[in-house]
Amino acid sequence: MAAITKFLKILVVFVILGVIAWAVIENYSVIFSKSIKGEITAVERVELPVALIARAGGDINEKVFSFAIGIKDLKTGEIYTASSEDRQWAVAQKGQCAEAVFLPYPPWKFTKRDTFFGARLVRLFECPPK
């Protein structure tokens, strides 16, 4: 009976560790996201060479609203870049200041390692005087 109890305890520990590992892998970008406050150095709509055909009740592909964003951190001066499909970037302009959350690609995506995607615009504001 003691052996079965010990086995069940070990099994429970492995299941819990497996669930934790799965949660970290699935939510890596959110867990390790980076909040940036700074001046927008660039916000460019990425033009796709496709024809846009709308159908009744059909959703438009999010890729149509793709942006490339650059923000210069107010504290360090480092420029962070990311891609985004957040429509809010359409109102942002170069020279404005913004607070944004940049999601990193996970390290197991070797070709995109140490870069960001899914930049979410949190707020726009006037830059402080220099």
86-123 pLDDT, tens digit per residue, is 889 999 999 999 999 999 999 999 999 889 998 999 99
d(CA 19, CA 28): 14
Model-wide pTM > 0.85: no
CA atoms within 13 A on the CB side of 3: 0
pLDDT in tens, 2-29: 888 888 999 999 999 999 999 999 999 9
Contact 70, 41 (CB under 8 A): yes
